[in-house]
Structure 1
Amino acid sequence: MKNRSLAIGALAKMTGTKVETIRFYEKSGLLPVPERTAGNYRSYGRSDLNRLSFIRRARDLGFSLDQVRALLDLSDEKDRSCEAVDAITREHLVEVQRKIADLRALQTELDRMLAMCSCGTVAECRIIETLSPERDPEVSAAH
């Protein structure tokens, strides 16, 4: 690959990223504004491909845009300690663990609701009853 030889469509295809997303990353400063060809088309090189691949992988792992931005900034400082990278990753892991705990609680509640179901009629349905606002004193008082 030459220094600048990829059109935006090719870059999108190579990284599995939508063209609109690449433009968004450029506007948000995650990707540098690319050079333009004589025909005024965006022209990307190997460094853009590598940077976008980094962004995609970080986003696939659930890092926020701000975290990705910080990680990119840190990745440009090759001689720096990776403590800040570890801190960002640790913070993200705590958030992922919280979400998993929330999902487990949700799973438990849904399992409990299904266990109450006797598969009778909707009028007798314990799931509908559980979801009903009349069951919640705060909601009932508000009505």
Structure 2
Amino acid sequence: MLSIGQLAKRIECPVETLRYWEKEGLLPAPYRGDNNYRWYQDSHLERALFIRNCRNLDMSLAEIRQLLRYKDQPDMRCDQVNRLLDEHISHVTERIASLTLLKDTLESLRQRCVTEKNIDACEILAGLSSDQTQGSTEKCSSHLRGVHPGSGRSI
């Protein structure tokens, strides 16, 4: 059996993350000793590694929850897993396109000021105050701020 600190160390994530996964129902509640300490078994370690690896692949908690449901049904065919992963790849592709556009916009903005000037003549600050910069990216683009458009899923 592992304490929460030992489990966190084994999977290289903070203790708070394990508590959060438990609260979200991704990680089953561990055995609690008389002192109310959490004690985790090897099955918790395996599941926590699975969750951590999914998070490292930028999967949402909803996607991980679904993958865990599939994992808990070993007789099921894996076509559902393939579909989920294909959807995730699509989200990642969209995100890459958005980030590429963001990078291009930032580089364009940076090119406005190639010599040192006084702040009141700074073309970057002027560009950030105009419609010109906003027009080169999506207006109020939620996915550039960390939420995938239309899904509410964190990216």
1:47/1:126 Cα in 2 relative to 1: closer, same or farther (>3 Å)? same
Q: Which residue of 2 aligns with 1:29?
A: 25
Confirm or deny that 1:130 pairs with 2:127.
Answer: yes
Aligned residues: 131
Runs of at least 4 residues off by over 3 Å: none
Contact kept? 1:30, 1:69, Cα under 8 Å: yes
For residue 82 of structure 2, give the secondary structure of its aligned residue in structure 1.
Answer: helix
Task: Tell me which residue corresponds to 1:141.
Answer: none
**CA distance in 2 between partners of 1:67 and 1:79 (Å):** 20
After TM superposition, list the pairs within 5 Å mapping 1:63-142 onto structure 2: 63-119=59-115, 120-132=117-129, 135-136=130-131
What does residue 58 of structure 1 align with? 54
Report if the CA contact (8 A) 1:35-1:42 is conserved.
Answer: yes
Cα RMSD (Å)? 1.5
1:118–1:43 distance in 2 versus 1, CA, 3 Å? closer
Q: Which piece of structure 1 moves more, 92-101 or 48-57?
A: 92-101
Choose 40-49 or 56-65, whichever is displaced more.
Answer: 40-49
5+ unaligned residues in a row in structure 1: which ranges?
Answer: 138-143
Which deviates more from structure 2 when the two are superposed, residues 68-77 or residues 112-121? 112-121
How far does the alpha carbon of each residue in 1:32-73 deviate from its partner, in whole angstroms, 9 at most, with x for none? Answer: 111122333211111000000000000111000011000011
The percentage of counterpart residues that share the same residue type is: 40
Q: Deviations over 1:83-123 (max 9, x none)?
A: 11111111111111111111111111111122222313323
Which of structures 1 and 2 has the bigger CA Rg?
1
In 2, Cα distance between the equivalents of 1:106 and 1:100? 10
Q: TM-score, normalised by structure 1?
A: 0.84
Q: Which TM-score applies when normalising by structure 2?
A: 0.78
Q: Which has more helix, going by share of residues?
A: 1
- Which deviates the most, 102-111 or 112-121? 112-121
Change (3 A) 1:112 1:45: same
